[in-house]
Amino acid sequence: MGAVLLLAAKTFVFRLPAFVDRHPYGTVAALRELAAESPPGTVLAGTSPFLGRYVDRPYAYVPDAFGPEVGDPALYYRTLHRVLSNAGAAFLVVDSVDLRDRPATLLGAEPPVPWLRPAGGEGRVRVWWRTDAR
């Protein structure tokens, strides 16, 4: 019985705070704000998986950089553009929690590519508007 209580206490004291720290709360808040302010049917995209359940809009998960894309941001941005275009996404929400192997310039203040423009975000979250979205 003591071992069970010890394991429960360890989970609560150590793992729960880590889970809370790694949850993309900022991304969820940004997605909800975009959903409230954008026309119905606007497709939203982000770097955190499984967040479509938090908004009443289509949500597209943007895959991580893979293989040569990890070392070549231009290659990753070509892939990102294709993914966003195929999904019809107008906005991209990037959170440092789920940046992983994607280019760090996605979190910068300046657009990393000509077809993205800043559209908000605060703290560890950056929101981009895709200028060529239809």
Whole-number pLDDT of residue 24? 82
25-35, pLDDT tens digit by residue?
Answer: 899 999 999 99
pTM equals: 0.84
Q: 40 falls in which pLDDT band (50, 70, 90)?
A: very high
Task: Give the whole-number percent of the chain exceeding pLDDT 90.
Answer: 78
Q: What mean pLDDT is reported for the chain? A: 89
31, amino acid identity: L
In whole angstroms, give the CA distance from residue 87 to residue 107.
21
In whole angstroms, give the CA distance from residue 88 to residue 41.
10
In whole angstroms, give the CA distance from residue 122 to residue 88.
24
**What separation in angstroms does the CA of 95 have from each of 7, 23, 36, 76, 119?**
31, 10, 20, 17, 14
Tokens encoding 21: 């720290």
Contact yes or no for 33/26 (Cβ under 8 A): no
Task: Show the DSSP H helices in the chain as ranges.
Answer: 2-10, 16-22, 25-37, 73-87
94-121, pLDDT tens digit by residue?
Answer: 999 999 999 999 999 999 999 999 999 9
DSSP secondary structure letter of residue 104: G
Q: Where are the domains of the chain?
A: 24-130
Q: 78 falls in which pLDDT band (50, 70, 90)?
A: very high
Whole-number pLDDT of residue 134? 77
In whole angstroms, give the CA distance from residue 129 to residue 8.
44
